[in-house]
Amino acid sequence: MVQALYKNGKISRKGPVVLVIMDGVGFGAYQEGDAVADSKTMMLKQLLKTAPWTKLKAHGTAVGLPSDEDMGNSEVGHNAMGCGRVFSQGAKLVNNSIETRAMFEGAVWEKLVNNVINTNGTLHFIGLLSDGNVHSHINNLKSMVIEAKKEKVKKVRVHALLDGRDVGELSALEYFDPFSEFLASLSDDSFDAKIASGGGRMVITMDRYNADWEMVRRGWQTHVLGEGREFSNPHEAIETLRKETSAIDQDLPPFVISENGVPVGPIVDGDSVILFNFRGDRALEITKAFEAETLDEFDRVRHPKVEYAGMMEYDGDMHVPKQYLVTPPSIDRTLAEYLCASNVRQYSISETQKYGHVTYFFNGNRTGKFDEKLETYVEVPSDNVPFEQRPWMKCADITDNVIKAVKSGKYDFIKLNYPNGDMVGHTGNYQAVVCSMEAMDLQIARLKSVVEQYGGILILTADHGNADDMYEHDKKGNVKRKEDGSPKSKTAHSLNPVPFIIVDPNYNGEYSTTLREGLGISSIPATCMQLLGFEPPEDYDQSIIELI
């Protein structure tokens, strides 16, 4: 339990502090491909001319990732915005665990390896095959396969999901072909390693927030049952399905690898299974499918008795999965917990796609509320359609609810997430992203008007960049182009800084309007505390404002 915060005696407002997280909205490094700058976002552009603002770091070491070459993401971004400090995150923890061999000397790894040695079974790996380092990294998988051979595992099968979201939209063969060669180079009379199945990450296996369990059913059918369209190798599967569907990697249909008409890697009794993704949100549902005794969401057909483990513990409160290879960061003393201890009434809202980010991730990977009486959570159901088809998503519905919350006078602190810039940005559809930005901007204008009317403070920021960098660029900054001359779409997050804007109509000189520079998004919690009239904890990262 944390102690109540001390009052700073400086700032007091009649209305609430409203924190708007514009998911995936940054300051682009290139003019061409910056859909944020290219959009008619009249409200945002006006605020950048009239309100105090600064740029914040939202990637790499500023959010606990191994290096500044690593893109930020919504999970680590909301962790940082919620806890006010930088914790080493999944990618860094996994790297350290492999480098120090702590993973391979751990009880869970030994248990899964010994299981397949004793049963003469197969060690299966399921996860995203890329070096995006947001959900997984191919080098971690390679290290585990090499170690499995050293420890006398006889058979390994990889169920590889195509990325095309955190890496190039048509980059799958850049990973699948060398990885297939890597497995072949390890295979000999005593060790048999192959890719067994695959499919696009937005089609199978990696659903989140219970939005579309049909994705998980398709993944189960593909990975576990070994049922689906069969190909002799992954290269053939990817090339054929691309030609037939014109889909980018993340949307490619599932496939099964077979030899002589027999799938090479269904999951059966006695096997061991490792989900090698380290990020939690898209790992929970497939984990439930493996671990639950009974499952209502879909018919598993058969539920093999296996030793299952995740790369990390994906939900620390629910203790999911039961077994995991690397201990996740222990995030404590979050903004929400301190505000509850200080009797601050809070309201958190987004649509399904980002609801868990303003609750679970913002609260330090914690399920549930700190105080039922002081916290209100609202989830607006997302449309179950491709995001480029409805790029406005649910930003108007979210705004409707927030306006009601502001007018009610029941809340002191309101936080919301507009998913548009991130979710639509991942589609690579430039026109849709521009539409999504303009739709969001209209809602920000509505929200600003009401916050001003009711004497509150509006904060606009983001968790990472995406919509600001929609085209692939070479090292010289030139746009890469397809054969027809059109730009190559980029579907991954950017390394760009994000905005932090304060709209405070009742400002009375309590703090400097020249905001601090060079900080990261982990400085947002201390700033929110100060604007709410409190002194932040001494070990929180420095506030973006300086009290006078």
Q: Find, among 505, 500, 510, 530, the residue nearest to 53 by Cα.
A: 500
- Beta carbons of 126 and 275 less than 8 angstroms apart: yes
Alpha-carbon distance of 414 to 375, in angstroms, equals 10
- Beta carbons of 343 and 373 less than 8 angstroms apart: no
- Beta carbons of 57 and 64 less than 8 angstroms apart: no
Q: Got the DSSP string for 388-433?
A: GGSTTTTHHHHHHHHHHHHHHT--SEEEEEE-HHHHTGGGT-HHHH
Q: What is the largest CA-CA distance in the chain?
A: 77
315: left (phi over 0), alpha (psi -120 to 50) or beta: beta
Annotated catalytic residue, options 12, 39, 67, 74: 74
Tokens for 403, please give them: 């306006």
- Beta carbons of 532 and 4 less than 8 angstroms apart: no
Q: Find, among 219, 216, 149, 230, the residue nearest to 188 by Cα.
A: 149
Tokens for 497, please give them: 């800084």
Q: Do the strands 255-259 and 262-263 form a parallel or antiparallel pair, or are they unpaired?
A: antiparallel
Tell me the torsion sign for CA atoms 364, 366, 368, 372. Answer: negative
Q: Got the DSSP string for 462-507?
A: -SSBSTT--B-B-TTSPBPB-TTSPBPB--S-B---EEEEEE-TT-
Tokens for 339, please give them: 């505000």
Q: Catalytic: 74?
A: yes
Alpha-carbon distance of 63 to 344, in angstroms, equals 26
- Three-class DSSP labels, 226-266: CCCCEECCHHHHHHHHHHHHCCCHHHCCCEEEEECCEECCC
- Beta bridge partner(s), residue 379: 350
- Beta carbons of 543 and 527 less than 8 angstroms apart: yes
- Beta carbons of 311 and 277 less than 8 angstroms apart: yes
Alpha-carbon distance of 134 to 220, in angstroms, equals 23
Q: Which residues are catalytic?
A: 74
